[in-house]
Chains A and B, each alone.
Chain A
Amino acid sequence: MQQQMAIDWEKIIKSLMLLCFSILLFYLVISGQIQMYINPRFTVLSELAAVALLSMFAVQFFNSRNSFHVYDHHAPHKLVYVIFIIPLALFLLLPNAALDASVASNRGFNFNSGNLTSAPPGSGALARASAKSADLGESAGQQTDNTGVSKSGPIQVTADNFVRVVDAIGQSPEDYAGREIEMLGFVIRNKDFAPQEFGLIRFIITCCTADASPGGFILKSKDAVDYKDGTWINIRGVIEVDDYDQQVVPVIEATFIERAAQPSDPYVYP
């Protein structure tokens, strides 16, 4: 009889966990918070997982075949299931925040390749974005309009074209020298930056937050010291070509900077 009791508990705990995970996924998808964790392209997988978990809950909870013969000899300690509470507890107890500037500096970028990822010159780590658009076959630096960058007027960097534009400019800064540019991002610094320099970046998420990599430009402004790491700003400026670490890189000479709120979806996706 005692054994029967134990099995019931196990069944209840397992059912409850499945239900909680299912609710967590549904909640993330419905509230849109899923974007804080994974590339929205994979949202449909999370929805399917939530449905699968719900069906697992239903069968686990209502089935007549108990897990008796599975667990009686080598019953796992019931507290094993505490492990499954950890992600749920972290989700509920800790504030929901996007990755901040300290992670960006931890990830160790060199600006030497013309963009903030450390791909070799011309390899265009960020150009993976263009793989999805028709312009993939175009080698960078020949036809600027092929990368989605407007040919005239200020270059507007948006969340949608961020990866393409940043990569195109990073690969062939000479082609864009003298152009005006407007973009939103947050401030980070490398140790070897001059006081009037900082990096203006956003995180690029390919699959999930674990693969976040920063993309953006070096910015020059006499007011640079006013902007702490992690500050979100809107800028307008002119693209110039400069040397950094013996590489030709684009540098934005800022003409206008204003503080901005962190966007509701701070990440950009290729």
Chain B
Amino acid sequence: MLNTVIPKKKQPSFWLPLFILLLIAFLAIRFGGSSLANFKAVFLSIIVEALPFIIIGVFVSAVLENFVSEEVISNFFPSNRYLGILLACLLGIIFPICECGIIPVARRLISKGVPLYSAVAFMLAVPIINPVVASSTAVAFFNNHAMVWLRLGLAFLVAYLTGLLVSFFVKGNQLNSSVETETGGCGCAHEPVAVSQSITAKMGNTVLDASNEFFEMGKYLIIGAFPGALAQTFIPRQSLLSIGHQPLLSAIVMVVFAFGVSVCSSADAFIAVSFASSFSRGALLAFMVFGPMVDVKNTLMLLNAFKPRFVILLILIIFFLVVESAFWINVL
């Protein structure tokens, strides 16, 4: 039921939108109307582009909730952790969901009894290891197909190792809510999903769940698009270029850049390719692997779905794995 996914966490309060509006006003005065128009164009484009994908995500999640039982899902994942993580990493091939929509699905899987480590590997791998992203990367790096395989390979490595580390060192489901028990911890009297519900009732509930989750995730998309659009409009990219060929620093800079700009995983290869002459290969890969796994907007969604300590741990693991691999790719 719904209670399994509604977090108890304090919601961002009213000061946040107020702050954003004030900041927009400040920028308008400071930089003048044309910058503001640019900002608006980028900000709205991120939202308009991401809306369909976030809607797909919340609908997949709601369909899982209303139509697929726990047994089916947990039987689907092998109980062996190595195989379970492997399968989770490869699910994107038949199930291409981009990073805007993946978090509600991963959260739903966990609340449906999928082990945390499999769900984490799924969440990290699917937005990269799927046909859509593979082909857009292949088009962007059309005469350098090694980049495609390196990207997919690196994403697999990072997702698999992160899943494995989580399986050994993290206990519990880490969901940030009353999800601790299957019966729901928020103390309301919920009837379990009635198998006997009519199909129309189920469909109504599906749309309603999707709409509730849309509001939950949508606000983070909007807040996350904000620094993304700011970075795109106001930070001169030339300022990044001086560090482009240092093996370690270039990777770190691109990871931070990926975190800030929050571009969709099916488009980020084109941004990466525009840096190709000024940044090392490892740094470009770091950008294309880290970005879809962790960026501003999905960090906010992660914080909503998972306990803060777990989110920080996860980001640190991914950061070190990505930067480390990028460094070795640069050096070798």
A residues apposed to B, CB below 8 Å:
14, 17-18, 21, 25, 28, 34, 36-38, 42, 45-46, 48-49, 52-53, 55-56, 59-60, 63, 65, 67, 69-74, 76-77, 79-87, 90-91, 94-100, 102-103, 105-110, 112-113, 117-125, 127-128, 130-131, 136, 139, 206-211, 213
Contacts and interface: CB of A to CB of B under 8 A. Distances in A.
A49 B274 contact: no
B12 A80 contact: yes
Contact of A34 (B3, B48, B271, B276): B48
A18 B211 contact: yes
A79 B41 contact: no
Contact of B264 (A70, A83, A207): A207
A53 B55 contact: yes
A160 B142 CA distance: 20
A97 B13 contact: no
Interface stretch (B121-129, B230-238, B248-256): B230-238
A119 B277 contact: yes
Given A48-B52, A86-B222, A128 B140 contact: yes
Given A128-B139, A210-B42, A123 B144 contact: yes
Interface stretch (B16-24, B104-112, B150-158): B16-24
B292 interface: no
B275 interface: yes
16 contacts: A21-B51, A49-B55, A60-B208, A72-B188, A74-B6, A77-B13, A87-B47, A90-B43, A102-B35, A120-B277, A128-B273, A131-B138, A139-B143, A207-B263, A208-B267, A209-B42
Contact of A102 (B34, B47, B268): B34
Contacts of B263: 207, 210-211
Q: Find the residue from A45, A79, A86 having the highest chain B CB count within 10 A.
A: A86
Given A59-B211, A90-B43, A83 B17 contact: yes
Contacts of A72: 188
A113 B143 CA distance: 15
B36 interface: yes
Given A70-B2, A117-B274, A25 B48 contact: yes
Nearest to B31: A102
Given A25-B48, A77-B11, A210-B263, A108 B219 contact: no
A110 to B, nearest CB: 7
Given A91-B44, A122-B143, A70 B17 contact: no
Given A37-B44, A108-B237, 14 more contacts: A17-B215, A36-B45, A37-B49, A42-B52, A48-B52, A55-B207, A82-B14, A87-B43, A95-B37, A105-B236, A108-B241, A123-B276, A208-B48, A210-B229
B40 A94 contact: yes
Interface residues of B, number: 87
Contacts of B236: 105-106, 108
Nearest to B270: A206
Contact of B14 (A46, A77, A108): A77
Contact of B49 (A56, A84, A207): A207
Contacts of A123: 141, 143-144, 273, 276-277
Contact of A83 (B207, B222, B229, B275): B222
A84 B214 CA distance: 11
Contacts of B2: 69-70
Contacts of B241: 108
B261 interface: yes
A36 B270 contact: no
Given A46-B51, A77-B13, A208-B46, A70 B37 contact: no
B79 interface: no
B144 A209 contact: no
Given A36-B41, A122-B143, A73 B214 contact: no
A130 to B, nearest CB: 8
A155 B48 CA distance: 36
B28 to A, nearest CB: 9
Nearest to A77: B13
9 closest A-B pairs (Cβ-Cβ)? A79-B14, A209-B45, A207-B267, A108-B237, A108-B238, A208-B49, A76-B11, A97-B37, A45-B52
A63 B218 contact: no
Contact of B45 (A119, A130, A210): A210
